[in-house]
């Protein structure tokens, strides 16, 4: 391991340093963009494995795909920065970590090592980091660990976290203390992480005895890549990253992503009916086959994202499930048509395709896809009417969204912390107070718009059919 202070070494500051030293059983490091939360959590995981040979670690996140794309990538970068290597081959050097599984890694194995504790006892073995998603059955996560790191625990439920507290029990005894830690982004003020294990009384105040856990705040000023601590100003990287965000965020998201505050969404359009625990589901919950009718919703864009939201309708229920999503900028309509064809090979042809009103783009798509695409109806009250339709469908659980359904997304949007997909857009879809809450604030609502076009059309068609049959 590279010694602190040398080139490549990681040196934590502020909240990050406090997090590194914290030994309480449950601890969270939270903050806005640019704070380096995942970096310090990855470094802590690496360092604990080095300091306590033979320890058993669980590295987890809500979905395995997200764990690999974000958490594992950061961990491997941290390892390399400390002068270590990650290899899929047999270890031949003392500073090599073996990765079992390349495209779908399941375990990191550290080299054999020894340590002698303060009482003269010798501890030895290979530290191991096991990778698993919280989407898996609890039985598959039922082992016991010295340490558990939950990447983005805000995506998990409180039940998920409580279950993991029983798994981080230090039963193996290779570490002097067990710990469960995570790196959440701040969300609403009554989020279970913010409440710290307490319950709320009828006035919304904390009551009862909360669990023994720590919430440690980290700011962008703790990150030397973003903030020059000598000059007390943004670095060039900081100006680029934080500056772009400040110019693109609304006040609530500024509080969360810049200031690192747990801010509530007042005036949220779907605040009373949207529940991620209900409306966001895992891919294996339903078997979507050729018996399910397909429906596509399209919102055109070039600078703004082009959206193609693909739904399947349950053959025996009034239930629509978004199972695939394309969310891209900077491509022509023809390129989008090619992408759609590539991702729908072998699938039933859609029963209905509805798109934002744009005759030229509709014509290109129609010809390329060989489909009759209907232009969305718009009018003075179309947005409000569409919101009412979606409200009813969400309330009645007729509209569900599969996690990680994105098959094409723009990485630049991720860099800018832009919401991607209905489930992320809805968390900031608010009424415009200046318009007396008669219409929402426009902006990052691209799949919301496409879904609104589609479901409004479907529900209107159903009403017509009912009238005809009376």
CATH code (residue 209): 3.40.50.300
Alpha helices in 175-288 (DSSP H): 192-195, 236-248, 251-257, 276-279
Question: Is 271 part of any domain?
Answer: no
DSSP single-letter state for residue 72: I
Helices (H) and strands (E) in the chain, counts: 15, 23
Domain membership of residue 269 (yes or no) is no
CA distance 102 to 135: 21
Residues 22 and 125 placed together within one structural domain of the fold: yes
Q: Helix (H, G, I), strand (E, B), or coil: what is residue 98?
A: strand
**Residue from 447, 138, 170, 204 nearest 305 by CA:** 447
Query: Can you give the residue range of the structural domain that contains 253?
Result: 224-257
pLDDT computed for residue 139 by the predictor: 58
Give the pairing of strands 199-200 and 206-207. antiparallel
- 297 in the same domain as 419: yes
> How many separate domains does the chain show?
3
199 & 285 share domain: no
Say whether both 207 and 232 belong to one domain.
Answer: no
CB atoms within 10 A of CB 450: 26
Contact 37, 218 (CB under 8 A): yes
Domain-embedded: residue 465:
yes
Same domain, 190 and 298: no
Is residue 189 domain-shared with residue 338, that is, in the same domain?
no
- Residue 267 lies inside a defined structural domain of this protein: no
Both 249 and 100 in a single domain? no
Would you state the pLDDT for residue 211? 53
Query: Cα-atom radius of gyration of the chain, to the nearest Å?
Result: 25
Which residues of the chain, if any, have pLDDT below 50?
Answer: 1-7, 200-204, 207-210, 465-470
pLDDT at residue 469 in the model:
45
Residues, the chain: 470
Taking alpha carbons only, the member of 419, 389, 406, 154 closest to residue 269 is 389
Name the H helices within 152-249.
Answer: 158-167, 192-195, 236-248
217-227 burial: b if 16+ Cβ within 10 Å, else e: bbbbbbbeebb
* Residues 201 and 298 reside in one and the same domain: no
Confidence at residue 198, expressed as pLDDT on a 0 to 100 scale:
53
Q: Are residues 321 and 336 in the same domain?
A: yes
Q: Please, which residues have CB within 8 angstroms of residue 12's CB and are 6 or more apart in sequence?
A: 19, 20, 40, 43, 222
Same domain, 33 and 106: yes
CB 294 within 8 A of CB 269: no
- Is 374 contained in some domain? yes
Closest CA to 184 of 195, 175, 176, 193: 193
Q: pTM surpassing 0.75?
A: no
Asked whether the beta carbons of 324 and 289 are under 8 A apart, the reply is no
CA 278, CA 313: separation in Å to the nearest integer? 17
CA–CA separation, 308 vs 294, rounded Å? 12
Is 65 inside any structural domain? yes
Q: Which pair of tokens denotes residue 278?
A: 């209900």
**Is 125 a member of any domain?**
yes
* Neighbour tally for 289: CB within 10 Å: 10
Q: Do 156 and 240 share a domain, yes or no?
A: no
Q: What ranges in 258-316 are assigned the alpha helix state H?
A: 276-279
pLDDT at res. 8: 56
Indicate whether 231 belongs to any domain.
yes
How many Å apart are CA 142 and CA 136, to the nearest integer?
11
Do the Cβ atoms of 33 and 417 come closer than 8 Å? yes
Note whether 312 and 213 are same-domain residues.
no
């Amino acid at each position: 391991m590279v010694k602190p202070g040398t080139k490549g070494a990681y040196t934590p500051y502020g909240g990050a340093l406090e997090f590194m030293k914290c030994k309480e059983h449950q601890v969270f490091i939270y903050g806005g963009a640019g704070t380096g939360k995942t970096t310090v959590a990855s470094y802590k995981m690496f360092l604990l494995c080095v300091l306590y040979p033979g320890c058993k670690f669980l590295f987890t996140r809500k979905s395995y795909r997200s764990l690999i794309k974000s958490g594992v990538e950061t961990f491997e970068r941290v390892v390399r920065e400390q002068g270590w290597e990650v290899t899929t081959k047999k270890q031949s050097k003392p500073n090599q970590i073996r990765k079992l599984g390349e495209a779908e890694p399941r375990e990191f194995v550290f080299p054999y090592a020894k340590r002698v504790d303060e009482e003269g006892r010798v501890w030895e073995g290979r530290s191991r980091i096991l990778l698993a998603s919280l989407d898996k059955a609890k039985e598959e996560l039922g082992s016991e660990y010295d340490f558990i790191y939950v990447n983005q625990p805000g995506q998990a439920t409180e039940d998920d976290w409580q279950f993991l507290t029983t798994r981080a029990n230090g039963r193996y005894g290779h570490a002097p203390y067990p710990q469960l830690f995570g790196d959440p982004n701040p969300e609403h003020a009554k989020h279970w992480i913010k409440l710290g294990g307490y319950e709320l009384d009828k006035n919304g105040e904390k009551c009862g005895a909360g669990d023994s856990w720590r919430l440690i705040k980290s700011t962008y000023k703790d990150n030397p890549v973003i903030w020059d601590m000598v000059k007390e100003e943004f670095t060039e990287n900081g100006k680029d990253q934080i500056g772009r965000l400040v110019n693109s965020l609304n006040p609530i998201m500024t509080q969360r992503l810049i200031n690192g505050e747990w801010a509530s969404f007042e005036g949220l359009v779907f605040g009373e009916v949207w529940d991620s625990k209900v409306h966001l589901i895992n891919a294996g919950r339903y078997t979507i086959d050729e018996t399910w009718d397909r429906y596509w919703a399209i919102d055109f864009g070039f600078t703004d994202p082009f959206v193609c939201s693909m739904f399947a309708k349950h053959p025996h229920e009034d239930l629509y499930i978004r199972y695939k999503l394309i969310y891209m900028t900077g491509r022509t309509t023809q390129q989008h048509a090619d992408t759609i064809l590539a991702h729908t090979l072998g699938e039933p042809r859609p029963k209905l395709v509805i798109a934002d009103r744009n005759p030229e783009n509709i014509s290109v798509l129609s010809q390329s896809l060989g489909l009759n695409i209907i232009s969305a109806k718009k009018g003075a009250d179309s947005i409000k009417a569409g919101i009412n339709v979606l409200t009813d469908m969400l309330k009645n659980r007729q509209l569900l969204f599969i996690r990680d359904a994105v098959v094409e997304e723009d990485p630049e949007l991720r860099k800018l912390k832009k919401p991607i997909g209905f489930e992320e857009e809805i968390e900031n879809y608010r009424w415009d107070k200046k318009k007396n809450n008669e219409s929402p604030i426009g902006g990052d609502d691209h799949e919301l718009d496409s879904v609104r076009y589609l479901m409004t059309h479907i529900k209107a068609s159903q009403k017509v059919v009912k009238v005809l049959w009376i």
